[in-house]
Structure 1
Amino acid sequence: TLAADGLDSADAERVTGLHAGVTFARRLTSAPANVLNPATLAREARRLEALGLDVDIWDGPDITARGMGLLAAVAAGSTHGPRLIRVTIPARGEATRVLALVGKGITFDTGGYSMKPPAGMYGMKNDMGGAAAVLGAMRALADLRAHIPEGTEVRAYVAAAENMVGPDAMRPGDIYRAANGLQVEVTNTDAEGRLVLADTLTVACQEGATELVDLATLTGVKISALGNDIAALFSSDPALTDRLKTAALAAGELVWELPLHQPYLKAFQKGTLADLKNSDMAPAGGSIKAALFLQQFVTRPWAHLDIAGNAARDENATGWGVGTLVEYVLGR
């Protein structure tokens, strides 16, 4: 419960809108995986229609028809099929900018056949912290849409799937076609987040996004590098980098820029059968290599926030990222 006293109407509106978004994100992240799966996450996103947002949802056959072979592969081991969720706040006037907020929505991650140890698997209901953040940002922006710059359309894309084992689950060595036509060999089924994001980033570009920011609990080595308080920021565009740093500072959320060191991509490049592999099985530089993998699927200015460790603290969901995304969209 939030009481906002002593504020002018503009500040009170901003605080209460942000509170609603952070609360929504925390509620989603806190839900156990037997309650929140791709289908129920999609239903939660559908609730935003009541606030005047446009919500579109694609299920398994739709995802396959759109050529999203990587998202379909990650979800293949689960009885709960994948969902691609798109939430839109249309622009006031003619749209001259389309901002895409992309979230990793792995509602539970066993690691697949590259199975996590028990200690590593506990807490993997939080592997959709990126999805919760982008949906929470849209919830906040629903209340603050009058402050979104004129001509700016905002879209949230969520790739929702469970990474499970089963008769149809992807295996190490399998090769799948991505939405942009690249062939990707799965060497590690526990490197699934980059797969679902790759297809979703491609679709967002195909649908006209002029700028993209993705959030994902992507790599454990990010926690080794920066801990749980600071998110890793990667970006292909200096101006976008500066705006995100300013937004994070205004939101009280800490980010640190890491380099997109292109020589590291060689570890993921293939010479036969496939164009890329999803992991080289080496932790050194793992966060950078994961970001470089994602970069192969974007054609517009793009930034990636690796929020592993940020989405929950001592089993309490934080809603990390909602504030940064709201400030970024509002451009204050």
Structure 2
Amino acid sequence: MPASRSFAFNQTVSRCLVKDAKNAVPIDAMDAKAFKGLKKSDKAAHGWCEQTGFKGSAGQIALLPDGNGKLARVLFGLGDDPAPFLPGKLATGLPAGTFRLGEGFEDPRMAAIAFCLGSYRFERYTKPKDEKSSPVLVCPQGVDHAEISRIASGAAIARDLVNIPANDMGPDELEAAARDLAATHKAKIKVISGDALLKQNFPMIHAVGRASTRAPRLIDMTWGPAKAPKVTLVGKGVVFDTGGLDLKPSAFMRLMKKDMGGSANVLGLAHMIMDAKLNLRLRVLIPAVENSVAGDAFRPGDVLPSRKGLTVEVGNTDAEGRLVLADALTYADEEKPDLIVDLATLTGAARVALGPDLPPIFSRDDKLCEDLQAAGEAENDPVWRLPLYKPYAKLLKSPVADVCNISSGGHAGAITAALFMEKFVEDAGAWLHGDIFAWRPSSDAGRPEGGEAHAIRALYHVLSARYPSGA
């Protein structure tokens, strides 16, 4: 498929949840104990389940017919300790039709979110599935349909951008996606591209991206009242990372289309914020580059100037994300916003420490971290705080520059990366860094294999509480 300069946002999740519908088939959730009680309350249903093997195990689905052979009721197994997103299995396990949640669902809102996230399909390069063959859920009573839709749509934006391969998702296409999102929400956008980055003092963004035939750029989007509290989101937009001259082994390069996962998640979060019309002035900064190998690639041992004025020794060209983020964070910090949040697929060390599902967060703001961890627990979008341990800053010392982009000794890689970026934020009210994976190695309920939205539902929850719409 040829590259496209425009971007169509995924509509799959927007069609899976309806406000109301007649004759929707009820879905009753039950564990093994409740299933045993079915024998007394509905012998016919119990007998049918016994014949089909339904026992109330986690994720099991039983389709119960009426006297005419039509689908009359669905039973959904909860098992002994149901995960919050277990209802996401309904999105892939039910036949076509319209359904509603019946009895047994402890948290209908979370069940609806799980269903919508589980409905996501990435079909850009395959024959699209017939829409009519997919199940549809009626939004549960008392649950905000618009809120669920914007959360699911934001996650779909992030997933789509990560899933698209680098041949169709370069800096041009990432810019196009940002422009389309800006147009949707009437946001302003400007882009500094190519050698203009040098003229406008973004030397590290230019250095990392200059070896690619696709020009590096800084995408700058703003939305909301100028006098509202300022919140700036910064997303790592390395559309593909070869590792540069410190070339990655092929096994590690295989998934590097996802190295722009920070920018993808930032755009997904921006959609949620703008669609909800939160009372803030939003700014989104994305340094979009490709870390390629060519005669003018930056080298190990090079000393780079930065927008901040600090000189940076390149200890490894595969630690490029923190370089482009440093210039973008400096730019964000110059207007002294209330909050800067950056998201980046930054270190393998974060995955070694916490695995693919639990992104570490870093901040000096205790209340912000507490709020975000609580929101992650409530929204089933967990994060885990790691320390900005100051004594490790000495590991970033350079004999020839103000700082090195990697630590000596190879220890505490996620922490030292965060400490490096902290050097470029001084004046913001608060700063938070999320080292996300942006990928699902395998499918689970509500979470298909592939590109993933990490931490943005939790962040949206926090921002909604701090800057409610209409305030």
Q: Structure 2 length normalisation: TM-score? A: 0.66
Match of 1:40 in 2: 173
Match of 2:245 in 1: 113
Residue 29 (structure 1) shift? 0.4
What is the alpha-carbon distance in structure 2 between the residues aligned to residue 19 and residue 53 of structure 1?
21
Deviations 1:199-236 (Å, cap 9, x if unpaired)? 11000011332211111110001111000110001102
2:135 paired with 1:3: no
Q: Decide which structure has greater helix share.
A: 1
What is the alpha-carbon distance in structure 2 between the residues aligned to residue 242 and residue 130 of structure 1?
22
Amino acid paired to 2:253: M
| Alignment check: 8 A CA contact 2:383 2:455 kept | no
Residue 11 (structure 1) shift? 1.3
What is the alpha-carbon distance in structure 1 between the residues aligned to residue 439 and residue 265 of structure 2?
9
| Alignment check: 8 A CA contact 1:234 1:258 kept | yes
Amino acid paired to 2:313: E
2:387 paired with 1:259: yes
Which protein is bigger by CA-based radius of gyration? 2
Residue 270 (structure 1) shift? 2.3
Residue 10 (structure 1) shift? 7.0
- Secondary structure, in 3 states, of the residue corresponding to 2:359? strand
Q: 1:287 aligns with which of 399, 410, 414?
A: 414
Shifted more, 232-241 versus 190-199: the winner is: 232-241
| Alignment check: 8 A CA contact 1:240 1:302 kept | no
Which residues in structure 2 correspond to 1:193-208 (within 5 Å)? 193-208=321-336
What is the alpha-carbon distance in structure 1 between the residues aligned to residue 142 and residue 290 of structure 2?
42
- Secondary structure, in 3 states, of the residue corresponding to 2:17? coil
Which residues in structure 2 correspond to 1:90-129 (within 5 Å)? 90-91=224-225, 94-95=227-228, 97-129=229-261
Match of 1:164 in 2: 292
| Alignment check: 8 A CA contact 2:17 2:139 kept | no
- Secondary structure, in 3 states, of the residue corresponding to 1:305? strand
Match of 1:210 in 2: 338
- Taking only the aligned residue pairs, the percentage that are identical comes to 39
Q: Structure 1 length normalisation: TM-score? A: 0.93
- Secondary structure, in 3 states, of the residue corresponding to 1:331? helix
- Secondary structure, in 3 states, of the residue corresponding to 2:406? coil
Stretches of structure 1 lacking an aligned partner (at least 5 in a row) = none
| Alignment check: 8 A CA contact 2:359 2:454 kept | no
Residue 53 (structure 1) shift? 1.9
- Change over 3 Å in CA distance of 1:297–1:75 after alignment to 2: same
Residue 244 (structure 1) shift? 2.1
- Secondary structure, in 3 states, of the residue corresponding to 1:132? helix
2:247 paired with 1:140: no
**RMSD over aligned Cα atoms:** 1.7
Shifted more, 105-114 versus 230-239: the winner is: 230-239
| Alignment check: 8 A CA contact 1:250 1:327 kept | no
Residue 141 (structure 1) shift? 2.2
Match of 2:151 in 1: 18
Residue 319 (structure 1) shift? 1.8
What is the alpha-carbon distance in structure 2 between the residues aligned to residue 169 and residue 137 of structure 1?
33
Residue 24 (structure 1) shift? 1.0
| Alignment check: 8 A CA contact 2:382 2:455 kept | no
2:381 paired with 1:247: no
- Secondary structure, in 3 states, of the residue corresponding to 1:111? coil
What is the alpha-carbon distance in structure 1 between the residues aligned to residue 299 and residue 351 of structure 2?
27
Match of 1:326 in 2: 460
What is the alpha-carbon distance in structure 2 between the residues aligned to residue 210 and residue 176 of structure 1?
29
What is the alpha-carbon distance in structure 2 between the residues aligned to residue 72 and residue 250 of structure 1?
40
What is the alpha-carbon distance in structure 1 between the residues aligned to residue 187 and residue 349 of structure 2?
36
Residue 281 (structure 1) shift? 5.3
Q: 1:67 aligns with which of 201, 215, 220?
A: 201
What is the alpha-carbon distance in structure 1 between the residues aligned to residue 370 and residue 340 of structure 2?
14
Match of 2:217 in 1: 83
Amino acid paired to 1:217: T
| Alignment check: 8 A CA contact 1:221 1:283 kept | no
- Change over 3 Å in CA distance of 1:298–1:133 after alignment to 2: same
